[in-house]
Structure 1
Amino acid sequence: MQIKDFIVDQSLKELTEHRTVVLPLACYETTINQNINGYIPLHWHDEFQFVLVVKGEAIFQINEEYIAVQEGEGLFINSGCLHMAKDKNDSGCTYICLNVSPSFVLSQELYTTHVNPYIQATNIPYLLLVPKELWANNILASIMSINQLIKQNPPYYEIDISLHLTLIWKNLIINGIELEYEQTEMIKNHRMKQMLNWIHLHYPEKILLDDIARAGQLSRSECCRYFKRILKKTPLNYLTDFRIQKSLILLQQPESNVTDVAYQVGFNSTSYFIDKFRKSMNMTPLVYKKHKNSSSLEK
């Protein structure tokens, strides 16, 4: 199963429930360009995420870093970290995505000493998993095994998954990385999420740069530096992109029209919405709407 449209709350926290019937985890294969946006939009969740690229190549953004991940390589993305993914060079990138609750990785007795310190550490937003490193190769093999176990549902597969998760975490720990805890980094991440939260709560309204900066308890200039450093765009450009992202869902509703959608997502001019949509999606909103409606009729 692939999640083609991420549902997030106002703070960009993903609301998809990551679990099988009985386990607090989810494992599925994702083809990036099949997402409703054509990429995996920026989001975060409390679960750890383990990624194994099985085809093509992707560019992942994790907090403010960009990482190219090739076929056969993978990632560990820490709990609470902002992340997104785009296909690289139209490679048709597909990856296995394993999301697992931190409390399920090890037993409750071991969680405090062997899991929680990694969640709190500010120097591990992610780890690149390269097969030539034995510890990383072991993790990648276990991701593949868990994916197969969930597909095949053999007897006692839940126990086998639990064993693989223990091996994954053991191998992650034995790579020997020294944990760091920087208060300034924690504050920066918190302020960024506050500003994103405010945008996602108020995007249909008129929004000024002052409003976004105030949400993060920052000056206008410092607010712009945060967005430029982490998202590589201005706060207002991010707002425009987010409004267009929201319009995609509305445009797929048969009864919607372009003007109404423009105003619903916060644009005060239909022509301005069309111009920005065209630059972002390489087509007009009306062409996008017709294309999506005809595709749904064919299914």
Structure 2
Amino acid sequence: MRKIKFDINQQLKEMTEHRTDDLSIACYKTTISEHVQGYIPLHWHDELQFVAVVQGKVLFHINEQQVAVSQGNGLFINSGIMHMAENFSMEEQGMYLCLNVAPQSLVSAELYMKYVHPYVTATNLPFLMIEKSSSWGEQVLGNITAVRQEIEEQAPYYELNVAAAVLEIWKGLIKNGYFLEHNETEMIRSRRIKQMLMWIHQNYTEPLRLEDIAKVGQLSRAETCRNFKLILRTTPMQYVLDYRIRKSTELLRFSQHSVTEIAYEVGFNSTSYFIEQFRKMMKRTPLQYRREEQKGRQDEEKEIRS
């Protein structure tokens, strides 16, 4: 059997792209012994991670802590947290489902600062055990399995089912009453980020500069970039670019406007640059995306009629 190489960069960030074609979500079955090193090496990633151990017992190392997770139980690992995993013993092989979710994809941009950011940035929430003996834990573990099955089968509307299951997982976590610790500096930073994001959402169709965004947050350009990197794991201008692309997908699906018209409507001043950036983010051209979406809707309508 060919061994799996775990791809990380010099900063120990995992380089795997955790997404399906349409969702910033991925769910893998990981067998520890199949990796080149015989374990999952120390790494981190921007995505939130939900683990469900389906075989054996797995030992996770998280921020210098060791957490043993037995079959039937699981673990939540927060965004940006260093971790590794290995078999708890040589006698049994550990296997687990690993659900990775981009924090920004959990809820709309308008709700991110209220329902996601406080948990992603909490200083006392690097990980959380998910035990099947609790009602929340049982629900989370069941939803991880359901997401894996939905992604594998890709039946009609599977994306909606996956998004709903992931949102239910997150809703359960934040309703669990977990006490979060934050310092005052971080709270001020959150308010400023919220102001800047709201301004971007209101003005993304216009030419935007880093100086404009920084002014809204009453910060220097360097401090604005640092805060975006810390909180959103991206740069201000990359966030603007990604937001424009996301808005363009709505127009491609639901309007008859040409690609050039859509490019200008969402703030690009070059059709070729829009197509280039769209392909980089969506792994297809705008026209290919539109055709696939139209075909998908037609297939769904045929299925409904039949």
The TM-score bracket by the shorter chain reads 0.5 to 0.7
Which residue identity lines up with residue 156 of structure 1 in the other structure? Y
TM-score w.r.t. length of structure 1: 0.59
Q: Is the 8 A contact 2:3 2:34 kept in 1?
A: no
Partner of 1:215: none
Following superposition, the deviation at residue 182 of structure 1 comes to 5.6
Could you tell me which residue of structure 1 aligns to residue 136 of structure 2?
Answer: 135
Give the C-alpha shift of residue 109 in structure 1. Answer: 2.1
Structure 2 Cα separation of the partners of residues 127 and 3 of structure 1: 30
Mapping of 1:1-299 within 5 angstroms? 4-90=4-90, 91-181=92-182
Following TM superposition, by how much is the alpha carbon of 1:172 offset from its aligned partner in structure 2, in angstroms?
A: 0.5
Equivalents in 2 of 1:45, 1:3: separation in Å? 22
Structure 1 runs not aligned, ≥5 long:
184-299
The two structures have a TM-score, normalised by structure 2, of 0.58
- Preserved CA contact (<8 Å) 1:3 1:30: no
Give how far 1:129 is off: 0.2
Please give the alpha-carbon distance, in whole angstroms, between the structure 1 residues aligned to 2:4 and 2:180. Answer: 35
Structure of higher RCO (CA pairs closer than 8 Å, 6+ residues apart): 1
- The C-alpha deviation readout for 1:208-252, integer Å capped at 9, x for no partner, is xxxxxxxxxxxxxxxxxxxxxxxxxxxxxxxxxxxxxxxxxxxxx
Unaligned stretches of 5+ in structure 2? 185-306
- In 2, distance between residues paired with 1:3 and 1:154? 30
What residue number does 2:202 align with? none
**Which consecutive segments of 4 or more residues in structure 1 shift more than 3 A?**
none
Deviation, 1:10, is 1.3
Write the distance in 2 (CA, Å) between the matches of 1:93 and 1:14: 21
The answer (yes or no) to whether the contact 2:103–2:116 under 8 Å persists in 1 is yes
TM-aligned CA distance change 1:87 to 1:70, over 3 Å:
same
Contact 1:62 1:81 survives alignment (8 Å)? yes
Amino acid aligned to 1:7: D
Q: CA deviation at 1:31?
A: 0.4
Aligned partners of 2:59 and 2:113: how far apart in 1? 33
How far apart in 1 are the matches of 2:108 and 2:162? 14
Distance in 1, matches of 2:46 and 2:5, equals 18
Q: Is the 8 A contact 1:136 1:172 kept in 2?
A: no
**Separation in structure 2 between the aligned mates of residue 116 and residue 32 of structure 1, nearest angstrom:** 31
Cα 1:3–1:154 change in 2 (3 A) is: farther
Q: Which residue of 2 aligns with 1:270?
A: none
- Please state whether the residue corresponding to 1:79 is helix, strand or coil: coil
How far apart are 1:4 and its partner, in Å? 2.1
Q: Secondary structure at the match of 2:72?
A: coil
Q: Distance in 2 between matches of 1:169 and 1:157?
A: 18
| Structure 2 CA distance for aligned equivalents of residues 134 and 3 of structure 1 | 37
Q: Is the 8 A contact 1:135 1:174 kept in 2?
A: no
Preserved CA contact (<8 Å) 2:58 2:87: yes
CA RMSD across the alignment: 1.7
Is the Cα contact below 8 Å between 1:32 and 1:38 reproduced in 2?
A: yes
Once the 2 structures are TM-superposed, how far is the Cα of residue 122 of structure 1 from its aligned partner? 0.8
C-alpha separation in 2, matches of 1:122 and 1:137: 26
- Secondary structure, aligned partner of 1:143: helix
